[in-house]
């Protein structure tokens, strides 16, 4: 049995996918988190498709004698998975575990920095901002709160100097990526870039990429960007504060 630590174990909860790129990207992000905070134990669990499962990870931790866990949803908005799926899984965890569910990663100024990082890696430069329209392309949701958050992020990002920024969705909401690209062309932006506001490759990011066929630039997914890892640790720190108080740390 491992010696327990005053620091809660960070359990990163990813959705999972049949696409092997998804799990590979999640693991790359977790490696980035570990590198930034080597004193924190970080485990990964998946809701579906991949192993280990969240339940399996939690049961293993309980068997080791771990008491405190921060469960971090690897999500950008508070939609169904954050509000229903993940709490339901956590309720089934061994009773000896004290689990705190951290907030989702978005919105955060660091994520906007990560989006710009990906756009610059795709070929843009800061000098291109005023003449470039950007499509903020998310997976989409039936949750009105999640859709409203994406729209607000697009409004805020526009004020950092881009010609225009429009939200788009790969599913469940409109407009689609290709429609937002055409709208920015009609507005007169000299070039159009698509910035996927998604964490890992998969079915819906591939749909975003197809919708970007008429764009000039398609950025990569956020993936293991260092800014994403920093946001994840910010959420961990915010969630663990009450646990530290209870432990006298």
What does the pLDDT look like over 152-164, one tens digit per residue?
999 999 999 999 9
The whole-number pLDDT of residue 241 equals 83
Contact 107, 152 (CB under 8 A): yes
Q: Which two tokens stand for residue 132?
A: 């470039």
What pLDDT score does 99 carry? Answer: 97
Helices (H) and strands (E) in the chain, counts: 9, 8
Domains plus CATH for the chain? Answer: 9-106+225-247 (3.40.50.1400), 123-218 (3.40.50.1400)
What does the pLDDT read at residue 6? 78
pLDDT tens digits for 34-52?
999 999 999 999 999 999 9
Confidence at residue 2, expressed as pLDDT on a 0 to 100 scale: 44
Q: What is the pLDDT of residue 4?
A: 45
Q: What is the DSSP string of 6-17?
A: SSPEEEEEE---
Query: What whole-number distance in Å separates Cα of residue 182 and Cα of residue 159?
Result: 21
pTM for the full model? 0.93
pLDDT (0 to 100) of residue 156: 97
Question: What is the average per-residue pLDDT within 8-36?
Answer: 98
**By the 8 A CB rule, do 104 and 70 touch?**
no
């Amino acid at each position: 049995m491992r010696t327990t630590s005053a620091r809660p174990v960070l359990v990163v909860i990813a959705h999972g996918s049949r696409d092997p790129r998804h799990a590979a990207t999640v693991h790359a992000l977790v490696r980035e988190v570990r590198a930034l905070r080597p004193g924190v134990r970080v485990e990964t669990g998946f809701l579906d498709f991949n192993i280990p499962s969240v339940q399996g990870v939690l049961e293993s931790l309980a068997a080791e004698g771990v008491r405190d866990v921060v469960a971090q949803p690897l999500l950008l908005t508070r939609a169904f998975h954050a509000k229903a799926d993940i709490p339901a899984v956590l309720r089934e965890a061994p009773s000896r575990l004290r689990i705190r569910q951290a907030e989702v990663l978005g919105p955060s100024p660091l994520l906007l920095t990560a989006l710009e990082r990906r756009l610059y890696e795709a070929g843009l430069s800061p000098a291109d901002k005023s003449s470039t329209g950007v499509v903020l392309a998310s997976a989409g949701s039936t949750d009105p709160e999640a859709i409203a958050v994406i729209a607000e992020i697009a409004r805020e990002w526009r004020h950092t100097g881009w010609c225009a920024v429009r939200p788009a969705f790969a599913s469940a909401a409109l407009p689609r990526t290709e429609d937002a690209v055409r709208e920015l062309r009609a507005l007169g932006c000299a070039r159009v870039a698509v910035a996927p506001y998604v964490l890992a490759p998969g079915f819906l990011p591939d749909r975003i990429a197809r919708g970007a066929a008429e764009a000039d630039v398609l950025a990569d997914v956020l993936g293991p960007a260092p800014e994403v890892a920093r946001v994840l640790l910010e959420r961990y720190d915010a969630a663990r504060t009450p646990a530290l108080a209870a432990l006298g740390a």
